[in-house]
Amino acid sequence: MATTTLWLPTSRSMYPCARNLRYVGNLMSQTRSSVQINSEASIQLSPSDRQELLQQLRAVESDRIPHHLLPLLNHTTLSSVSWTIPDLVLILQVLLQLEKHTVLSQVLNALYPGPCGIDPFNQMLAINSRHGNVKVALDLYSMIEHLHIEPTIATCNIILQTCARGPKNDVHQAIDMYHHIQRHHHIEPNERTYANLILAHIRLDQWHEVHSILSKLSYAQERDIYKVYALAIQNCYQLWQYEAASRLFLFSLENLKKIPYNSHVLNTALAATARSLDAGKLDVLYRMLESNQEPDIYTFNTLISAYGNAGRFDGAWEIFCRMQTKMEPDVVTFNALLTACIRNHRMDRIQSVLLTMESKEIVWDVVTLNILLEACAMTCDVARADALWKSAQEIPHFRFQRRSIEALAKVYSQAEAYDRLCDFWKMDIASCRRHARSSKMLNFLSHACCRRADPQKGLEILQEFQKHGHRVSSVTYNYILEAFLVADQAASALKFLHTNMEQDKVHSTILSYSLLLRYFTRKKRYDRVLHTFDRFLSKRQTKKYSRLALWQFPVESLYILAARAAFAEKSHENIIRIFELSGKEDFSKIVQSELATLVMASCDQIDDWKTAVSLYDHLLDALDSTANVKMYDQVVKIVARVGEFEQALNFNGGEWYRSSRE
């Protein structure tokens, strides 16, 4: 049966690139016009209709299926087509999301009439496992039992792997499923079964169960205990469980008589140990390795990288010296050493590494160039970076990576050589720009235009990237917005914010409004500060903006800038309103104290003793002793100036006056 690449609602293809969006929209409109949908009649899908349906299911989230597609997702229509396994998994996921379990069962019964083997279900489970959909895996297993199909060890392993690698709340399903299958089907577990079970217990922090399983396996002669360890270590590493992978490896070294691991497993364990919190295990691990077997060049390279990553450059250099007595290092060895220099800020050792590399006549590759450019970025050495780039161009058949171009751009940006960065983009790599178009590169260029106060150049670069279907982030838009402000083009900045950042897609963020408020404050245009702040509040209260992740960042700076502007404008009502609005936010005591100080200063200007007394009474529990005494003195002075002692003492029973200020 032919297969194609599976798409899932959670995969990257849920977000088609810009040049494909128009195609998807046209496709949906064509389907509406070409297929007349009648919910009471069955629809026979032609091959072209089938492809259009799949395209549309891939292009939208499963919980946002267009209404005109829902009648197509019925038993009669879906059963009229012989779907490939990946396409069928996509349809099953959509049906499960829509809670159409009856339709799902009918489709499977129609596609697999009569006695059905386990193979189609194993294929569906395997494809689904790559994307970790636990619900689909469990529902497929329920169908297997409902159809009285006997599962195999492959079925068990795939389901256990999906659950063990899935969300934390679903990990326990792996353990439950293991015991269920053992009780009802008596399937003999193999090494992968135990490795997946161990991973589930590790993710639930049940190490006593892990040790129990491994201890039982060590006494079973028929089990390949070494393979269980190897698979479990690799499973942990792939899920970023570095501490667990290192712990398993050391446990195996302590309890097994020999270490028959291949280089891949050894290097995985070493890399995991370097990334774990206890980097001191590296010494123990290395001594155990040397006593059990002779490390090869891959293990030495991994050890050097591990020591460098663990912040132990001297250990990495010692491993390198030992390695030279046993074998010749290669370019990967020197790349690991150079990386260790950078991670440990040992720039003084880079030259000695390069000299050793030259003495052994090892030509550096593109990875070496990337590492050296990273070092130049840390030291802001533009001349050195240009020399390295020129040397790389002279090496025969040398191919630059996108990362190389981004690394050189980072050097220029860190050294504030913004003119050189723009010239580099315009002249040096004009012939291979398509290899360098990335969000990182666009942000470097936008930042350079911002610092050069050249918003028009920034817009040109932005349009160039958008023309080629590049998705632009809010970071880029904020750089261009700031470029307008640096160039003192406030009107253009506001227009750019309204038309480019707040129309079809929201690209404005808290930082966008912070940039505007700081600019207007610096220019003493306090009326514009208050107007922009009000615009921010109105946007933030709408449903469209309140749910955006980039609008959930702290807003203390906006409130303080707005309050200072209101005080400068002598707008007492505005400053009180801003303070009242701040009560709905989760601000720190420092921010609350700053806002209260501005309100009290405003009260002092216009002799508003009622607001002053009310504010002090409200903040009694929030002020520290120093701020309490200072604000109390201000309140007393305001009350004394207007001569309203009797009314002030009667406010709230005089609690504010009698409270302790120690």
Q: Please give the pLDDT value at position 487.
A: 95
Q: Is the CB of residue 499 less than 8 Å from the CB of residue 543?
A: no
Q: Structure pTM? A: 0.69
Look at residue 223 and tell me whether its pLDDT is greater than 60.
no
Q: How confident is the model at residue 489 (pLDDT cuts 50, 70, 90)?
A: very high
How would you label 361-370 residue by residue, b for 16+ Cβ within 10 Å and e otherwise? ebebbebbbb
Give the tens place of pLDDT for each residue, 436-485.
888 999 999 999 999 999 999 999 999 999 988 888 999 999 999 999 99
592-613 pLDDT per residue, tens: 888 988 998 998 888 888 888 7
What's the number of CA atoms in the CB half-sphere (13 Å) around residue 638? 26
Mean pLDDT highest for which of 376-385, 577-586, 633-642?
376-385
pLDDT of residue 317: 92
Residue 58: its pLDDT value, please?
Answer: 55
Residue 300 lies in a domain: no
Q: Count Cβ atoms below 10 Å from residue 397 Cβ, excluding itself.
A: 4
Locate 326 and state its tokens.
Answer: 């046993």
Q: Is residue 181 part of a domain?
A: no
Residue 137 pLDDT more than 60?
A: yes
In this structure, what DSSP letter does residue 554 have? -
pLDDT digits (tens, 9 = 90+) for 365-416: 999 999 999 999 999 999 999 999 999 988 888 888 899 999 999 999 999 9
| 304 within some domain | no
Point out the domain boundary residue: 411, 436, 461.
436
Give CA–CA dist 265/231, Å, rounded: 9
Structural domain contains residue 448: no
Residue 86: exposed, middle, or buried by beta-carbon count in 10 A (0-12, 13-18, 19+)? buried
Give how far the C-alpha of residue 607 lies from the chain's centroid of Cα atoms, to the nearest Å. Answer: 52
Say if 618 falls within a structural domain: yes
Query: Mean pLDDT, the chain, as a whole number?
Result: 79
Which of these ranges, 491-500, 546-555, 559-568, has the smallest mean pLDDT?
546-555
Nearest residue to 63 via CA among 38, 85, 96:
96
- DSSP assignment of 237-274 equals HHTT-HHHHHHHHHHHHHH-S-----HHHHHHHHHHHH
pLDDT in tens, 11-23: 333 233 333 333 3
What is each CA distance from 5 to 87, 127, 129, in whole angstroms?
9, 9, 14
Task: Tell me how many domains the chain contains.
Answer: 2
Percent of the chain topping pLDDT 70 = 74
More confident residue, 569 or 125: 569
Of the three residues 436, 457, 486, the one that is the final residue of a domain is 436
Q: Residue 378 sits in which domain range?
A: 364-436
The residue out of 401, 436, 471 marking a domain boundary is 436
| 619 located within any domain | yes
Is 2 within a domain? no
Has residue 374 been placed in a domain? yes
| pLDDT band with cut points at 50, 70 and 90 for residue 497 | very high
Within its chain, how far is the Cα of 583 from the centroid? Answer: 32
The pLDDT confidence band at residue 29, using thresholds 50, 70 and 90, is: very low
Question: In whole angstroms, what is the distance from residue 632 CA to residue 655 CA?
Answer: 12
The first and second tokens of residue 557, run together, are 């700076």
pLDDT digits (tens, 9 = 90+) for 236-286: 988 888 888 888 887 887 777 655 566 677 777 777 877 765 666 777 777
Closest CA to 288 of 269, 301, 275, 272: 269
Q: 141-177 pLDDT, tens per residue?
A: 887 887 788 899 999 999 999 999 998 888 999 999 8
Dist CA 229 CA 206 (whole Å): 17
Tell me, what's the pLDDT at 163?
93
